[in-house]
Chain A
Amino acid sequence: MQFFFEVLIAGLLSGVMYALVALGFVLIYKASGVFNFAQGAMVFFAALTAVGLQEKFGLSIWLSIPITMVVMVALGFLTERVVLRPLVNQHDITLFMATIGLTFFIEGFAQLVWGAEVRKLDLGIADEPIEAIMNSTGMLVSKFDVTAAAICGVLVAALAFLFNKTKIGRALRAVADDHQAALTVGIPLQHVWGVVWGVAGFVALVAGLLWGARNGVQFALTFVALKALPVLILGGFTSVPGAIVGGLIIGATEKLAEVFIGPLVGGGIEGWFPYVLALLFLLVRPEGLFGEKIIRRI
């Protein structure tokens, strides 16, 4: 039983890490209806820039992070200006494709500027079990994971505040509901999109730093997007709390399945299990856990 809880907790904490990546997708989808495939590349680019600045210019991590933040926000605005603005009103699939093109561009650009080497990133948070929990219950809970979960919590609270309490947040929600209606009442659509992409860039930076500290800063960071997709399906593409709850559910069930069902079928089921789980869930609720119910009229 203790082992079960250990797996469960590890899963929930992993889930938070997935949710962190999923948040970036949600932000952009919510405000512009674009499925931003480039989110994974942005995570990679952000982490690489943060480390690259340290390495090439000898900056401290606390100086390089704000600079990277500026870079990411600039990238967000630039994307809006160069890629999305000319494609306003196009079909979803075209916009999706444009973000794939953007992915290639960012991936090439990142390695062109900073080189292809694998680097380490030390945030000063030890990835070790917390001793107090270890001694009292015998379970392993990593300090790093708990810190990451806390950071994620703060981020979600901040985003919720931004969406619900600020003027720009209200504009965002209006745009999300109806582009044209928002334009009619005088909300500057382009400006709002720029902000959203900027915020998504910032979220990518946070995800990049945490994942980069864990896995090393390397190209494989782009793959974390694949971990975030089932979370999105489950939680709904348009819901910030959905990303968190979806992340927790996916993380926990994926680990439990791998540990308890995996050995029966040869293991390695983590790759597809979350997708199947999300799929089965969708059969019951096609718009995800917290997604907006789609009413279809003729």
Chain B
Amino acid sequence: MKFKLSKLLAISAVAATTALTGTLAAAQEQFVPILSYRVGAYASGGSGFFGGVIDYFNLVNANGGVNGVKLSWEECETEYNASRGVECYERLKKKNGGAGLVEPLGTGIAYGILDRVAVDKIPMTTLGYGRSDAANGKVFPYVFPLITSYWSQAAGMIKYLGDKAGGLDKLKGKKIVHLYHDSAFGKEPFPVLEAYEKQLGFQLTKIAVPHPGNEQNSQWLQIRQANPDYVILWGWGVMNAVAIKTAARVGFPREKMLGVWWAGSEEDTIPAGDAAKGYTTMTFNTPGNYPVIDDIRKKVYGAGKGNLADKDRIGSVYHMRGITAAMLWVEGIRNAQAKYGKGKVMTGEQIRWGLENLNVDEARQKALGAHGMFPTIKTSCEDHEGSGATKVQVWDGKAWKAVTPNWVMGDRAMVQKLVAESSAKYAAEKKITAACAAG
């Protein structure tokens, strides 16, 4: 009896899927599945990011699509949960002529579909999260940690702190606390920070905060006791607001705190209230207003097609990240069309090539109405990251402001060496022969 029910439902699911593909298939549309999360603990970030993606897609379509090819998409709720995310990916990957690319915005889901995207030949971008060593396109041909990875970020942090102290050599003897979310995510920057510790001679103390991090009295008392020069906050979710508030409570100056970019959105500072004033974080977007955002306001929200419920969130950190992601995808698609045929729907494989040969320089950024919104990007088979640059921003009590006028770049050679080592290990474990994909 035990398989009867599953069987029955399996058949109905098949029927449902075939019905779906039959009715919705449209010939000249580039399909992108959107694995979003709008419910649960991380919904505020998810709604901002995926809102940005959809807003940009709508803008592209309002402007006539990519060389005439309109974008189409379908959302699927993942609840930031690995197995729900995998199901969504599997459900949508073949729909409407096949997925062009995918972005789950969640580490667990990204890992769950890491092997699958290589088999299905669908490129996956992981903007600012996921495996740092995936920047090596020879081992991870279908994964693109575009703009920067955690390792580049950690290197950028040290560079910034060094500049602030008056030169990297001035960090010698300084105390830096790495306050991290006690998970794979929080431990990711260890290799970079430890390498720098050896090289520059500062004193690194690592303090873990157990998930979810809604109580940090003991950690901050430890920090007060250690009296460090800087605190790196490698947090996620509620942990960030609580860290800022608790820092205020023990009287640790927020100016000396430097957050990771997942600790650098309105969602992290607003709940902390006044305590967050002066708090700095890394980011890969320059906060501000850009022509493209004005366009979205006018053409998308003006037409009543805006995705965000609250218009005040247009141009917020998560929203801008979503726009950036969508912009880079569209560039990848446009790139692929230039090679494989303008005005045609691209396959995942072709878009992979497009993403691997991105070149968004300042001129291109200007044309897109996003000059300086994100660092210039030039990807290649060896470098799926394409930049590695980061920026530092500060919360002035109402909005984020850029601190560094230029992009901050850490020790690129060191990061690349770590990437090469770590990806080689992965390749050995998985028995992959590292090589550039034919394009």
Segment of A2-10, A70-78, A177-185, A283-291 engaged in the interface with chain B:
A2-10
A283 CA to B217 CA, complexed, in Å: 29
Find the B residue at minimum CB distance from A142.
B249
Cβ contact within 8 Å between A220 and B41: yes
Instruction: Choose among A3, A14, A270 the residue that contacts B225 (Cβ–Cβ < 8 A).
Output: A3
B242 in the interface, Cβ–Cβ < 8 Å? yes
B238 in the interface, Cβ–Cβ < 8 Å? yes
Cβ contact within 8 Å between A215 and B208: no
1/0 contact trace for B195-228 toward A, CB 8 Å?
0000000000011111110110111011011000
**Mostly helix, strand, loop or mixed at chain B's interface?**
helix
Cβ contact within 8 Å between B237 and A220: yes
Residues of B within 8 A of A111 (CB): 39, 43
Cβ contact within 8 Å between A115 and B310: yes
A11 CA to B242 CA, complexed, in Å: 16
B416 in the interface, Cβ–Cβ < 8 Å? no
B191 in the interface, Cβ–Cβ < 8 Å? no
Cβ contact within 8 Å between A220 and B214: yes
A7 CA to B38 CA, complexed, in Å: 38
Instruction: Choose among B42, B206, B275 the residue that contacts A267 (Cβ–Cβ < 8 A).
Output: B206
Cβ contact within 8 Å between B271 and A122: no
Q: 8 Å CB contacts to A: which residues of B179-203? A: 182
Find the B residue at minimum CB distance from A121.
B271
Given the known inter-chain contacts A3-B225, A11-B217, A220-B237, please indicate yes or no for A118 contacting B271, CB distance below 8 A: yes
Residues of A within 8 A of B39 (CB): 107-108, 111, 116
Cβ contact within 8 Å between A10 and B44: no
Cβ contact within 8 Å between B218 and A127: no
Given the known inter-chain contacts A7-B221, A219-B43, A268-B208, please indicate yes or no for A14 contacting B215, CB distance below 8 A: yes
Cβ contact within 8 Å between A127 and B275: yes
Residues of B within 8 A of A258 (CB): 218-219, 222
1/0 contact trace for B227-270 toward A, CB 8 Å?
00000000001100110010011110000000000000011001
1/0 contact trace for A2-42 toward B, CB 8 Å?
01001100110110010000000000000000000000000
1/0 contact trace for A249-279 toward B, CB 8 Å?
0000011001100110011111110000000
Find the A residue at minimum CB distance from B251.
A129
Residues of B within 8 A of A13 (CB): 217
Q: Give the interface residue-count category, chain A.
A: 35 or more
Instruction: Choose among B47, B207, B248 the residue that contacts A128 (Cβ–Cβ < 8 A).
Output: B248
Instruction: Choose among A7, A107, A119, A223 the residue that contacts B218 (Cβ–Cβ < 8 A).
Output: A7
A216 CA to B42 CA, complexed, in Å: 14
Residues of A within 8 A of B182 (CB): 267-268, 271
A221 CA to B310 CA, complexed, in Å: 22
Cβ contact within 8 Å between A218 and B209: no
User: In the assembled complex, how far is the CB of residue B187 from the closest CB belonging to chain A, in whole angstroms?
Assistant: 10
Residues of A within 8 A of B167 (CB): none
Residues of A within 8 A of B249 (CB): 127-129, 140, 142, 144
**Mostly helix, strand, loop or mixed at chain A's interface?**
helix
Residues of A within 8 A of B251 (CB): 129, 140
B291 in the interface, Cβ–Cβ < 8 Å? no
Cβ contact within 8 Å between B271 and A120: yes
Instruction: Choose among A142, A214, A267, A272 the residue that contacts B207 (Cβ–Cβ < 8 A).
Output: A267
The total number of A-B Cβ pairs within 8 Å is: 131
Residues of B within 8 A of A234 (CB): none
A14 CA to B249 CA, complexed, in Å: 13
A180 CA to B250 CA, complexed, in Å: 53
Find the B residue at minimum CB distance from A141.
B249
Q: 8 Å CB contacts to A: which residues of B33-67? A: 38-44, 46-47
1/0 contact trace for A116-146 toward B, CB 8 Å?
1111101000011100000000001010100
Cβ contact within 8 Å between B270 and A14: no
A207 in the interface, Cβ–Cβ < 8 Å? no
Residues of A within 8 A of B303 (CB): none
A224 in the interface, Cβ–Cβ < 8 Å? yes
B341 in the interface, Cβ–Cβ < 8 Å? no
Nearest first, the 7 A-B pairs at minimum CB distance are A216-B271, A268-B208, A271-B210, A220-B238, A116-B43, A268-B182, A267-B208
List chain A positions with a Cβ less than 8 A from chain B.
3, 6-7, 10-11, 13-14, 17, 107-108, 111, 115-120, 122, 127-129, 140, 142, 144, 211, 214-224, 227, 254-255, 258-259, 262-263, 266-272
A-B contact pairs, 12 of them (CB 8 A): A7-B221, A14-B217, A111-B43, A116-B46, A117-B47, A120-B270, A215-B238, A216-B271, A220-B212, A221-B214, A263-B222, A269-B210
Told that A115-B310, A116-B46, A263-B222 touch, could you supply 20 new A-B pairs with CB distance under 8 A?
Answer: A107-B40, A111-B39, A116-B44, A117-B310, A119-B270, A120-B270, A127-B275, A129-B250, A129-B251, A144-B249, A216-B271, A216-B272, A219-B41, A220-B41, A222-B41, A223-B212, A224-B214, A258-B218, A270-B210, A271-B182
